Amino acid sequence: MKHIVFSALLLCASTLCHAQSRSLFNGKDLTGWHMDVPDLEKDSSLRIPFIVRNGMLVSLGTPQGHLITDAKYKDYRIEVEYRFAGKPGNCGLLVHASAPRVLYGMFPKSLEVQLMSKNAGDFWCIGEDVAVDSMEVYRGPKENWGVVDGKERRVRNRTDGSEKALGEWNRMVVECLGDKVRVWVNGDLVNDGYNCTVTSGSIALQAEGAEVEFRKVMLTPIRKLTKISR
C-alpha cells in the first residue's frame, strides 16, 4: 500500500513538473543564451545587439544576428510579449533551431515565426519545412516551394489586423508538439502548421534591423495542443 501511495505521489510530482512554466529570461542578464552575430567576429568593436535594459530583453536590431538558447526543447508552448521600441521593422522568433548560418551566412536551420510588423505569424522556412492547409493560397505555386535561397520559403499568416499599434505590447504564443506548430497573435489563431521536418531544437530571437523589446519569454512543456474550432 505504501508503495502504491509513493508511486502515485511520484506520478503527481512528475505531472506538475511537466506542466510548470518557466521564464527563459531572468530579467537581469542573458544567462542561458548565446549570441551568433557574424559581423562581431569580423569587428569586435561593434556594439552588442542583444542587451538587458530596464528588466527587458532588447534586440537592438544591428549588427544582425541571433540570440539562441543554450538548451534544446521539444513539445512546448512559448509565449513572448514584445513591442517595436521606435520604428516598425523586422524581427523573428525561431523554433527548432539547429545548425548555424545555413542561410545567407547568418540564419540557423530552423522554422521562423515572423514578428515583422504587419506580418506577425508568418512562417519562414530556413532549411526546414512545414505544411498548412490551402498551401498554394498562402505560399504560392507548388513548383516554387523550397527551404533554400531562391525558393518560396514564406508561408503567410491567415489574419489581418491582429497586431497592436506601434509602441503597444503584442502577445505571441507558439505551440510546438511533435511535427505541429501553431501560432496565436493577441489571441487570434494566425497560423497552423503540420508535417514540420523537425520536432526539437533551440529557440532563437533575431536582431534584424529594428529595435524590439521583450518583457516576457515564457516556456511551458505541453502534451497536447490548445483545442481550436474549425
Over residues 195-210, the pLDDT tens digits come to 999 999 999 999 999 9
Q: Does some domain include residue 2?
A: no
Give the count of alpha carbons within 13 A of 19, CB side only: 8
Q: Does some domain include residue 156?
A: yes
157 contacts 183 by C-beta, under 8 angstroms: yes
Q: Does some domain include residue 5?
A: no
Residues 6 or more apart in contact with residue 14 via CB below 8 angstroms: none
More confident residue, 140 or 160: 140
Radius of gyration of the chain (CA): 18
Per-residue confidence (pLDDT) for residue 1, from 0 to 100: 41
- In angstroms, the CA 171 to CA 153 distance is 24
Q: Does some domain include residue 15?
A: no
Per-residue confidence (pLDDT) for residue 19, from 0 to 100: 60
Rounded to two decimals, the pTM is 0.91
DSSP 87: S
DSSP 3-state assignment of 123? strand
Q: Which domain holds residue 145?
A: 23-221
- Our count of domains for the chain comes to 1
Cα-Cα-Cα-Cα dihedral sign, residues 197, 79, 20, 228: negative
Q: Does some domain include residue 96?
A: yes
We report the CATH number of the domain holding residue 121 as 2.60.120.560
Q: Does some domain include residue 56?
A: yes
More confident residue, 134 or 15: 134
Residue 12 has pLDDT above 50, yes or no: no
Residue 108 has pLDDT above 70, yes or no: yes
Residue (of 75, 85, 48, 56) closest to 219 by Cα position: 75
Q: Does some domain include residue 88?
A: yes
Position 3 confidence tier, pLDDT thresholds 50, 70, 90: very low
- In angstroms, the CA 77 to CA 3 distance is 34
Grid coordinates of 220 = 511551458
Region 15-42: mean pLDDT is 87
Residue 39 has pLDDT above 50, yes or no: yes
Q: Does some domain include residue 227?
A: no
CB-CB neighbours of 108 under 10 Å? 22
Residue 18 has pLDDT above 90, yes or no: no
